[in-house]
Amino acid sequence: MLRVSSRVTGTDIELGLVNGEHVADNQVPYANELSAFAEALVSRDEGQLSRARDTLLSVANSDVLVDAAGVAANFQRMVRIADSTGIPIDFSQDRADIIESLGLRRFDSAKHSQHLLE
């Protein structure tokens, strides 16, 4: 979805950030801190989350932190709804390229969708 929308809007995207690489120049303010916050949320490590939250708060402000938490919560909700209703995945793009560029096989949850990763 990100790749398609970036092509339609003519926006450059930095997939390295998705894989945990820090970026020096990005169109998104606080991109590295937001990425670290998102990673900490899904890691379920309270210490990592506390550090990422404090870092984001120190470079941004409480409004940015609250918005980031809200976006993460909403995304989690949408994913759970999609998973529970069995919404099919659209593979109109080259899925192997996406899987490799995002390194999706590295996640523990990948074992539940091996048939999609091949």
pTM beyond cutoff 0.95: no
Domain range list for the chain: 2-87, 91-118
What's the Cα-to-Cα distance from 81 to each of 8, 27, 77, 78, 85, rounded to whole Å?
27, 30, 6, 5, 6
User: For the segment 40-49, what is each residue's pLDDT rounded down to a tens digit?
Assistant: 998 889 999 9
Q: CA 55 to CA 82: how far, in whole Å?
A: 32
Given this model, what pLDDT does residue 104 score?
Answer: 75
Confidence class for position 64, pLDDT limits 50, 70, 90: very high
Can you give the C-alpha Rg of the chain in angstroms? 16
